Chains A and B, each alone.
Chain A
Amino acid sequence: MSRLSLYIFVIISLTACMKWEYGLEEEFDTSASGEGLFICNEGNFQYGNATLSYYDPVTKEVQNEVFYRSNAMKLGDVCQSMIIRDGIGWVVVNNSHVVFAIDINTFKEVGRITNLTSPRYIHFISDDKAYITQIWDNRIFIVNPKRYEITGYINIPNMTMESGSTEQMVQYGKYVYVNCWSYQNRILKIDTETDKVVDELVVGIQPTSLVMDCNNKLWTVTDGGYEGSPYGHEAPSLYRIDAETFTIEKQFRFSFGDWPSEVQLNGTKDKIYWLNDDVWEMDVTADMVPVRPFLPYDNTLYYGLTVCPRTGDVYIADAIDYVQQGMVYRYSKDKELLDSFYVGIIPGAFCWK
């Protein structure tokens, strides 16, 4: 019998195997809390480990992987951005070619738009029409969010598929403005009635962000390209653009080699913030960039930035080494550290509830 037992032990040990697991659906209900902050954690490109985190600024509680936990499936590969419209969160997952629609209180999926090329941002024109910008595509996709369908395209003039890049969108009247980033230098003006590009404005090399302040001024910051780029390498700049006339009003030049990014607004849209090693803050009417930063560089590389529209608290994402849970630091507008919490891998974008 002892020999038989040995055989059985060997067979069991040779065959035992852990499974590729299914998730378990958890129930959430955050409707009682008025405030909430979603954090889009990109995850590592090609590894499909993007996640969504949710933070309650009042209770200071954070819930990680809420999409997975609520839906028992993965969010996907590279969570790029998120917006909220009428209680529905639209989560853009770049390398999964999908935009998920989720209930912002339960995090349950309510639908999805699929087969996009490489989606970056979504902007609503109306309840049944939205634009989705892309990278590696020279078209902006027009979708019907009610039916989760692609209904058309906006072809971008003078842009090839391979170097195609359209990014963030803001709307002024019937026009949507879009910054073109990767190997581009333009802000586009799109007529939402005809879905056509009607004008464009050349700025510096690779404008990375686009917001519009309380005075209907567009703000974008360029990264200036990189050393050795055949597209050029220059000192980056922050631009203030009048939305009405679509002309550059002001250019704030940075030093050559600086890497500014992530232009954001406060709730009243009278201050802009951006990252350039440090965290910077400036009045939208200022004529000069401040001498000192809002928050000085603290031995880390900040990756994401947002400002609470209600309290003015500043949230900064630290991706650390990009292969572990990132940290989000919350500062008051008086620069006091109020909280810090771990989220997912490479926290890159935020969305306020």
Chain B
Amino acid sequence: MKRLILILLTFAPLIAIAQDDTRNWATRGIRVGEVAVYGNRPMKEIAITETKLDTIALKENIALSMADVLTFNTSIFVKNYGRATLSTVSFRGTSPSHTQVSWNGMKINSPMLGMTDFSMIPSFFVDDASLLHGTSSVNETGGGLGGAVKLATKPADNRGFGLQYIQGVGSFKTFDEFLRLTYGNDHWQVSTRAVYSSSPNDYKYRNHDKKENVYDEDMNIADQYYPVERNRSGAYKDLHILQEVYYNTGKGDRIGLNAWYINSNRELAMLTVDHGDDTDFDNRQREQTFRGVVSWDHLRDGWKIGAKAGYIYTWMAYDYKRDVGNGIMAVMTRSRSRINTIYGQADGEYSIGNKWLFTANVSLHQHIVVSEDKNIVRQDGNKAIVGYRKGRPEVSASVSAKWRPTESIGVSLVVREEMFGKEWTPIIPALFVDGVVSRAGNIVAKASISRNYRFPTLNDLYFLPGGNPDLRSESGWTYDAGLSFAVGREGLYSLSGSATWFESYISDWIIWLPTPKGFFSPDNIKDVHAYGIETKADLDITLAKDWHLGIDGTFSWTPSVNIGEPRTPADKSVGKQLPYVPELSSSVTGLVTWRKWSFLYKWCYYSVRYTMSSNDISLSGKLPPYFMSNISLERVISLRWADISLKGTVNNLFNEEYLSVLSRPMPGINFEVFVGITPKFKTR
């Protein structure tokens, strides 16, 4: 046992909770576990910079999307266009399409846009979530110039029948429903989950961007005032259904089926500077998506193989209409897109003793996209559709060798190759090294370096008008180096933390710009130097008998600077922070539990976001820093036949008037209460 020394104290309490995640926080509580040891650290995690999101974050309440979870639990910047509205991320100062997102192994970034809308992922549908920062993403996929987000479901590990129902009622006539049915035995685990959220979403706000006029009889302005408006045209209805079936032979084979259906109907809220009458306009986006994955894992002593197959179908509709009189809504814009994606993956692992691990992986995504952006009448009088139909196979393959010559040193080499259409990337290499610096404090140092490429999206290449088939892939070098520590005493406290320095150079950054023809077109414009420090710390303490405190915090400093050539002599953007990327971001969550009570405080901070590439602070174009605080209080009542949970949440606790994006007001203080019931079925 002498060789067992270090680490992972951080995750010990989380693992304890994760194994029992069907229960609420108050029942679960915070467990201050024992300090895990260095020698137990998985070979696959050599020098990996990873942020794992715990069950407390993911299962806090049913109204949350992954955008909310990332905002308050990571240092990623979430660009939020409003409540229940498009939410994209900036990971390490990169653009939304530089973050690769997978669900049960299958990439779910839009092949048309490259990005992922995290507001469309209910956090209650995710059992396992982690961020792979920078170079670490190469272990999973290519194209993650900022990093990767891994989302997964997993068996509930229940015996017999289970049921959980939660209903939430909140401000702005918001209703959230969650139902989960489970069945499990030694071999089978079956789960059905459904989430339905709806709201007119018409929150009030004082509009600082415009004034209302009061005219006299001669139509002279007699008075002006800043109106208190409601969020206009922001209603939403989102339905998600997730079906899971897992079969475990008990002899080393596991089979899984995951099927996720989304039906979303969202209005697109009017800007603060919109002087239209919202009853005369209908601006709406609808989406239906099906994602299904079948997986098979075959585990044996020393080796493992697995295969996955999947399918994604997405239908998206955007309609912009206006009343032309008598209630007739005439179509101004009617866009439709259909995406079919077929997915296959095979992977294997082989270990030689405790010192070597070899992995291989190959995945295929075949996308078939039909984009119909606009209906027009041609010169000959016939109707036509402006759009494109394209298919593209995307292949990604990697091999890796991981070597731990001694207990305190680990080396990992990953080599990846990707193909998009007929284009192949150069070899994508990544090298990882870590080592124990001090056994006292379990201090581990790690470093990594990787090359990476991201292919243009299908819209980048083919969108009409403006698509540019001559685009080059974006490419980048990334370096990481960091330290982590973990200390603690079982049952009393645990404290862990890490700090990572990173540096990325990204070339041929693709940007969409207006053209003199009146439409946008992408080009390889920028070279970007993104660098900075990411830190995080986790503390769990047993304060007194039945009193536990858990605090998680992150802080990031992420300059992301344009280092390209000036576009013109007047260009002031060189050497400046990219627009809409904060240099500083931070989040803190604090959870206190006492018996069946729990109290959670969440806080996040983003520094100023420049809206111009020149970083000019203009009157009409700046986004000041903002802090946000949310709290929730939960009480669990354990009855003989069921557990009843009662929870109240307060969002925007200090009723701040703020914007995350220009002209997109965010809601002030708002409330939601949740009632959950988990019947206790008898199990044999």
Residues of A within 8 A of B (CB): 14-23, 43-44, 46-51, 64-65, 68-69, 71-77, 93, 95-98, 109-112, 114-118, 136-137, 139, 146-148, 158-164, 181-183, 185, 205-206, 208, 223, 226, 228-232, 259, 261-262, 275, 298-303, 318-325, 327, 340, 342, 344-346
Q: List the B side residues contacting A319 at CB < 8 Å.
A: 514
CB-defined contacts of B272 to chain A, threshold 8 Å:
48, 74
- The answer for the CA separation of A213 and B620 in the assembled complex, in Å, is 38
What 0/1 pattern do residues 373 to 402 of B give for CB contact below 8 A with A?
A: 011111101001110100000000000000
The reply to whether B275 and A96 contact each other, CB–CB distance below 8 Å, is: yes
Chain B interfacial residues counted at CB < 8 A: 87
Interface majority SS on B: helix, strand, loop or mixed? loop
- B45: interface (CB < 8 Å): no
Give chain B residues whose Cβ lies under 8 Å from the Cβ of A115. 275-277, 280
C-alpha spacing A319/B570, complex, angstroms: 10
Shortest B567–chain A CB gap in Å is 5
Chain A residues positioned under 8 Å from B334 (CB to CB): 162
Q: Specify which chain B residues have a CB less than 8 angstroms from the CB of A69 in the assembled complex.
A: 619
Bound-state CA distance A147–B209 (Å) is: 24
In the complex, what distance in Å separates the CA atom of A322 from the CA atom of B611? 11
Could you tell me the distance between the alpha carbons of A51 and B612 in the complex, rounded to whole angstroms?
A: 13
Tell me, in angstroms, the Cα distance from A161 to B333 when the chains sit together.
9
User: Is the beta-carbon distance between B603 and A14 smaller than 8 angstroms?
Assistant: yes
**Given A14-B627, A77-B663, A117-B332: A324 and B275 within 8 A (CB)?**
no
Interface centre among B386, B588, B603, B661 (most CB of A within 10 A): B386
Chain A residues with Cβ below 8 Å from B210 are 73-74, 76
In the complex, how many angstroms separate the beta carbon of B569 from the nearest chain A beta carbon?
8
With A115-B275, A136-B320 known as contacts, the answer to whether A146 contacts B219 (CB < 8 A) is yes
The answer on a CB contact under 8 Å between B571 and A324 is yes
- Among B378, B514, B603, max chain A CB count under 10 A is at B514
Q: Are B603 and A65 in contact (CB under 8 A)?
A: no
A42 to B465, CA, bound (A): 20
Contact present for A98 and B568 (CB under 8 Å): no
| A185-B379 in contact (CB<8A) | yes
How many whole Å from B278's CB to the nearest CB in chain A? 10
Known A-B contacts: A74-B620, A262-B516, A321-B567. Give 16 more (CB < 8 A).
Answer: A17-B656, A21-B624, A43-B621, A48-B209, A49-B663, A50-B620, A68-B620, A71-B211, A93-B273, A114-B276, A137-B322, A146-B219, A261-B517, A301-B515, A321-B613, A324-B616
Q: Is B614 an interface residue (CB 8 A)?
A: yes
Taking a contact as CB atoms under 8 Å apart, the answer to whether A15 and B629 are in contact is yes
Do A65 and B376 touch across chains, with their CB atoms under 8 A apart?
no
Return chain A residues, CB-CB under 8 Å to B572.
320, 324-325
B619–A112 contact, CB under 8 A? no
Chain A hits for B381, CB < 8 A: 158
A162 contacts B332, CB within 8 Å?
yes
Name the A residues within 8 Å of B322 (CB-CB).
Answer: 117, 137
Verify A303–B613 contact, CB threshold 8 A: no
Interface residues of B in 457-489 (CB under 8 A from A): 464-467
Nearest B residue to A146 by beta-carbon distance? B219
List 21 A-B residue pairs with CB atoms under 8 Å apart, sorted by A's residue number.
A14-B601, A19-B624, A64-B618, A65-B618, A68-B619, A69-B619, A72-B211, A76-B210, A76-B275, A96-B273, A96-B276, A111-B219, A114-B277, A139-B324, A182-B518, A223-B516, A228-B467, A262-B516, A322-B514, A323-B612, A325-B612
Q: Could you tell me which residues of chain B, from 396 to 446, have a CB within 8 Å of some CB in chain A?
A: none
A-B CB proximity, top 3 nearest: A48-B663, A97-B276, A324-B614
- A327:B626 contact, CB within 8 angstroms: no
Q: A14-B603, A111-B221, A261-B516 are in contact. Are A49 and B611 (CB under 8 A)?
A: yes
Q: Which residues of B contact A93 (CB under 8 A)?
A: 273, 275
Looking at the assembled complex, report how far the CB atom of B355 sits from the nearest CB atom of chain A, in whole angstroms.
Answer: 47
Greatest chain B CB density within 10 A among A50, A159, A300 is at A300
Are B221 and A321 in contact, with the CB atoms below 8 A? no
Q: Knowing A96-B273, A162-B334, A162-B375 are in contact, say whether A325-B517 is a contact too (CB < 8 A).
A: no
Interchain CB contact (< 8 A) of A96 among B271, B519, B626: B271
In the complex, which residues of chain A have a beta carbon less than 8 angstroms from the beta carbon of B280? 115
Q: Mark B308-335, 1 if CB is under 8 A from A, else 0.
A: 0000000000001010100000111110
Q: Which of B251-304 contact A (CB under 8 A)?
A: 271-277, 280
Chain B min CB distance to A73 (Å):
5
Could you tell me the distance between the alpha carbons of A148 and B215 in the complex, rounded to whole angstroms? 11
Partner of A321 from B518, B525, B601 at Cβ < 8 Å? B525
Query: Which B residues touch A327, using CB under 8 A?
Result: 568, 570
Most A CB within 10 A of own CB, among B273, B377, B661: B273
The 0/1 profile, CB within 8 Å of A marked 1, for residues 568-583 of chain B is: 1111110000010000
What A residues does B658 contact at CB under 8 A?
A: 17-20
Q: A51-B620, A322-B513, A346-B514 are contacts. A20–B273 as well, Cβ < 8 Å?
A: no
Q: In the complex, what distance in Å separates the CA atom of A77 from the CA atom of B272?
A: 10
Cβ-closest chain B residue relative to A155: B324
Pair B516/A303 contact, Cβ less than 8 Å: yes
| B464 contacts A228, C-beta separation under 8 Å | yes
* Residues on the B chain within 8 Å of A206, using CB: 517
Interfacial chain B residues near A116, Cβ < 8 Å: 276
B374 touching A323 by the CB < 8 A rule? no
Proximity string of chain B (506-541) to chain A, C-beta cutoff 8 Å, 1 when within and 0 when not: 000001011111110000010000000000000000
Contact between A111 and B213, CB atoms less than 8 A apart: yes
**Distance, CA A85 to CA B588, complexed state (A):** 57
* A-facing residues in B533-554 (Cβ within 8 Å): none
B211 proximity list for chain A (CB < 8 A):
71-73
Distance, CA A43 to CA B611, complexed state (A): 11
Taking CB atoms, residues of chain A closer than 8 Å to B466 are 226
Residue from the list B215, B220, B374, B656 in contact with A162, Cβ < 8 A: B374
Complex formed: what's the CA distance from A181 to B376 in Å? 13
Chain B 203-233, CB-CB to A under 8 Å as 1, else 0, gives 0000011110101000111001010000000
By a CB distance below 8 angstroms, the chain B residues around A324 are 571-573, 612-614, 616
Decide yes or no whether B648 CB sits under 8 A from chain A: no
For B465, the chain A residues whose CB sits under 8 A away are 226, 228-229
B378 adjacent to A17 (CB under 8 Å):
no
The answer to whether residues A97 and B275 also contact, given A163-B374, A231-B384, A299-B568 and a CB cut-off of 8 A, is: yes
Q: What is the minimal beta-carbon distance from A137 to any residue of chain B, in angstroms? A: 7
For residue A321, which residues in chain B have a CB less than 8 angstroms away from its CB? Answer: 511, 513, 525, 567, 571, 573, 613
- CB neighbours of A19 from chain B (8 A): 624, 656-658
Q: Find the residue from A15, A232, A259, A340 having the highest chain B CB count within 10 A.
A: A15
B271 and A46 within 8 A (CB): yes
Is B625 in the interface zone, CB < 8 Å from A?
yes
Chain A's closest residue to B332 (CB) is A136
Whether B571 contacts A162 by the Cβ 8 Å rule is no
The distance from the CB of B97 to the nearest CB of chain A, in whole angstroms, is: 17
Inter-subunit contact B627/A17 (CB<8 Å): yes
Given contact pairs A19-B657, A74-B620, A77-B271, A160 touches B570 in the complex (Cβ within 8 A): no
Residue B563 interfacial (CB < 8 Å): no
Max chain A C-beta neighbours (<10 A), residue from B277, B376, B579, B601: B376
**Inter-subunit contact B330/A320 (CB<8 Å):** no
Which A residue sits closest to B268, measured CB to CB?
A46
Query: In the docked arrangement, what's the CA distance between A49 and B208, Å?
Result: 14
Contact pick for B386, options A72, A110, A229, A346, CB 8 Å: A229
